[in-house]
Amino acid sequence: MEITLRGLATMIHGMGFGALYLMACSGALVELYRRYGPQSPAPATERDERFLRIYLIAMAAMAWLAVLTGAYLIYPWYRAVPPAGTTNLAAFPQRLLLASSTTSGWHSVGMEWKEHVAWFAPISITMAAGVAVQYGRNLKQHPGLRAAVLGFVWISLLSAGIAGFFGAMINKRAPVAGGANLHFMQGEQR
Amino acid sequence: MTETQSSASGPEWARGNGAGAAAVLAAGLGSFLIAVFALLADKSADIKGIMVFYKPTGPLSGVTTCAIVVWLFAWLVLHMRWKSRNLNLSRVNVIAFLLLGLGLLLTFPPLADLF
């Protein structure tokens, strides 16, 4: 069982940070609806307040890690320019996609959208974390503010979802691979 | 262990909504600016060149860095101005979500290509 270094980095970016962030969004939404809604039965406690703060700060860290690894580690491998005369474009995903009219849309629409819209997630969730840090339990006394935070968390879920969907589909058609081969396990030979 | 169930926590100014409004409006602005800078870099070769802060990443490095710097600066300025105030949050929310929605639409390439 082996994977290339670039493949592993892409997996950490997408599955480690991106997918985990998407899952964490549902937790943040549930917590904001359940504990901080006007109809929530019990007042939010100090423990709830601390939980929400730590949870949103961790989500913000994850979102920033996802976009920064994406933009500064994976994307340069994706958009690498092949030397003149290269016929095998397997190591140049962007060029591989653009080489065919049946796949070029994955770059011209998918990647072009993903590379920008993904940044809405860390901006939105950093705002949500900032508000949680500043207001804590007082958020319940500001329904307009709570609604805005909820809206931005929904948008961060949407933008991370768009980025994740296109990332997965693009990597399926033109995988980012290369670098050293990392061996994890020896399989059975038949 | 008993948990405090008081509804008041945090600094005194957190009882007003100004600090939160600053965060919300700045986040809407930051998202919108990602789209605006991306559009400008896409339409002008000069701006595209200026936006290359890190060559392997290309103009995306400048587009996102500029938007983040302006967003954080706007957040800081709005926070300093509004932190002790109680604002009409509905208006702030409408503007913030309008900016966010426009940003979302303008980053979608088929729509961005109309400009």
Among B6, B20, B61, select the one facing A131 at the smallest CB separation.
Answer: B20
A29-43, A72-86, B15-29: least confidently modelled range = A29-43
CB A163 within 8 Å of CB A170? no
In a domain, A9, yes or no: no
- Select the residue from A36, A52, A119 to test the B interface by mutation, using most B Cβ atoms within 10 A: A119
ipTM of the complex, rounded to two decimals: 0.90
The structure's pTM equals 0.91
Q: DSSP secondary structure string, A120-158?
A: HHHHHHHHHHHHHHHHGGGGGG-HHHHHHHHHHHHHHHH
In a domain, A4, yes or no: no
Average pLDDT, chain B: 89
In a domain, A8, yes or no: no
Contact residues, chain B, for A75 at CB < 8 Å: 56-57, 60
Nearest residue of chain B to residue A129 (CA atoms): B23
In a domain, A3, yes or no: no
Map residue A91 onto helix, strand or coil: coil
Nearest residue of chain A to residue B95 (CA atoms): A148
Query: Is B57 close to A76, i.e. CB distance below 8 A?
Result: yes
Domains held by chain A: number: 1
- pLDDT score, position B1: 35
Among A134, A158, A159, select the one facing B14 at the smallest CB separation.
Answer: A134
Nearest residue of chain B to residue A155 (CA atoms): B100
In a domain, A83, yes or no: no
- pLDDT score, position B11: 56
Nearest residue of chain A to residue B18 (CA atoms): A145
Contact residues, chain B, for A151 at CB < 8 Å: 93, 97
Nearest residue of chain B to residue A142 (CA atoms): B17
A149's tokens: 């935070």
Mean pLDDT of A142-152: 94
- pLDDT score, position B7: 44
CB A56 within 8 Å of CB A128? yes
Percentages (nearest 5) of helix, strand, coil residues in chain B: 70, 0, 25
Contact residues, chain A, for B20 at CB < 8 Å: 131, 134-135, 142, 145, 148
- Min Cα distance A179 → chain B (Å) is 16
Mean pLDDT of B23-43: 97
Mean pLDDT of A121-135: 96
B53's tokens: 């802060």
Contact residues, chain B, for A147 at CB < 8 Å: 93
In a domain, A137, yes or no: yes
In a domain, A190, yes or no: no
Domain that holds residue A175: 17-78+91-183
- pLDDT score, position B13: 52
Q: How far apart are CA B16 and CA B29, in angstroms?
A: 22
Query: Is A113 close to B108, i.e. CB distance below 8 A?
Result: yes
In a domain, A59, yes or no: yes
